[in-house]
Chain A
């Protein structure tokens, strides 16, 4: 599974990092999403998927399963 962030939609709320800190980080400038692990390993897929669904802006996409 692969995840991507749409930077122009992301508002830096950090819900992704809160839900799945292994895959999602926040930058030190505006607190916007940085994908730490674009290629999500199987054991983290469920967590990463929930993080994607909990993004308040809908800024995260699962680009391939």
Chain B
């Protein structure tokens, strides 16, 4: 194992005025809503570019323009070896963990499979799956939203798209959760190994029975010279698909459903446009803006002065998109959910060369889930006295979200 090659410098280059107390894995006392924890930074005295000593030390960008710049400018900010806290060896996820132009090989493999037109064809399956899940509990008048619905829909869909057998669904839900939620070094290392094992075993199995699923696409892929792609890279791409598209969707949905549980007017407004494709698309974008779960990491590529701030090669940067999405300079009445916000360049899915390949799938999963849910359960709430505990980390979310409603007669 290499010794700290990509670890950040001790913060001699950070002036005291740039330091701010903030732990991306922890709540402040009395807070248990991760969006509130991050959102409070905008109103605080934290510099818009600040450094925290927690988790190995890293920068945090709060301005929309800086977050967008870091997403788009791969000559200053790299996606290669960025974990926080730093851990080595760390998987080089394909295409997320490689900078342009190398990232193009896997990016162009995946991109055509997830265009709006391609995702349109997945809709029927999403409706079917949402219906099956909902019919299991709609008549009960209660569920634990994360466990019973929000984790099963994207994970089941992932297995279906990959062509994987679905009998290990619960195991995968758990693996994806640990990946996004743990900052314990030993647990993270084991978890990474386990995901590789699952993906590796599956792709080897799939190689002997090719179909038209995503797993087969990965196995069959060839480079410009007709040669198979590097085996490790193929595993790295499978790994990324596993960790990118499961807990992110689950967490996003828990935030949106919590909002709806507390907000009668929003439920009515969505129900009124539930079959209006264009209006619903605009509304869902706004729900995605205000319930953005990812904190994306970058590594500074070379010593530089960025917007007057001295940064060193290998410094980590955290891009909290939930904060960027609430910049008043870009979004009028940024803290208000406006389901008719027609111009909405939120950064929920990032920007630039690595912007989420699965964004249309993710958005469609949320949209279809809303349609099927509201049709059966137009009104629902969080039971009185229930404590909803969130978690911080690279993907913000809630550990549990109990919901109750009056079942249709």
Contacts and interface: CB of A to CB of B under 8 A. Distances in A.
Contact of A31 (B72, B111, B281): B111
Contacts of B72: 57
A26 B115 contact: yes
B343 interface: yes
Instruction: Tell me if A's interface is mostly helix, strand, loop or mixed.
Output: loop
A26 B108 contact: no
B112 A29 contact: yes
B186 to A, nearest CB: 38
Interface stretch (B2-10, B212-220, B353-361): B353-361
Contact of A57 (B107, B342, B352, B359): B352
Contacts of A12: 111
Contacts of B108: 29-30
B351 A57 contact: yes
Given A17-B117, A21-B116, A30-B112, A11 B345 contact: no
B355 A18 contact: no
B112 A50 contact: no
B351 A14 contact: no
Given A50-B342, A50-B343, A26 B116 contact: yes
Contacts of B116: 14, 17-18, 21, 26
A53 B117 contact: no
Contacts of B112: 26-31
Contacts of A21: 116-117
A8 B122 CA distance: 30
Interface residues of A, number: 20
Given A11-B352, A13-B359, A56-B351, A31 B343 contact: no
B348 to A, nearest CB: 10
A3 B108 CA distance: 25
A32 to B, nearest CB: 8
Contacts of B342: 50
A25 B355 CA distance: 18
A14 B360 contact: yes
Residue with the highest number of chain B CB atoms closer than 10 Å, among A14, A17, A53: A14
Interface string B97-117: 000000010011001101111
B109 to A, nearest CB: 10
Contact of B353 (A11, A14, A17): A11
Nearest to A52: B343
Nearest to B364: A18
B287 to A, nearest CB: 15
Nearest to B285: A54
Contacts of A56: 345, 349, 351, 355
Residue with the highest number of chain A CB atoms closer than 10 Å, among B104, B111, B353: B111
A54 B281 CA distance: 13
Contacts of B352: 11, 57
Contacts of B114: 31
Contact of A30 (B111, B281, B345, B349): B111
B272 to A, nearest CB: 21
Interface string A1-41: 00000000001111001110100011111110000000000
B324 to A, nearest CB: 12
A18 B111 contact: no
Contacts of A19: 281
B344 interface: yes
Contacts of A28: 112
Interface in B321-351: 342-345, 349, 351
Interface of B: 72, 104, 107-108, 111-112, 114-117, 281, 342-345, 349, 351-353, 355, 359-360
Interface of A: 11-14, 17-19, 21, 25-31, 50, 53-54, 56-57
Given A14-B360, A17-B116, 9 more contacts: A11-B355, A14-B116, A18-B281, A21-B116, A26-B112, A26-B115, A27-B112, A30-B111, A56-B345
6 contacts: A12-B111, A14-B359, A26-B116, A30-B107, A53-B345, A54-B343
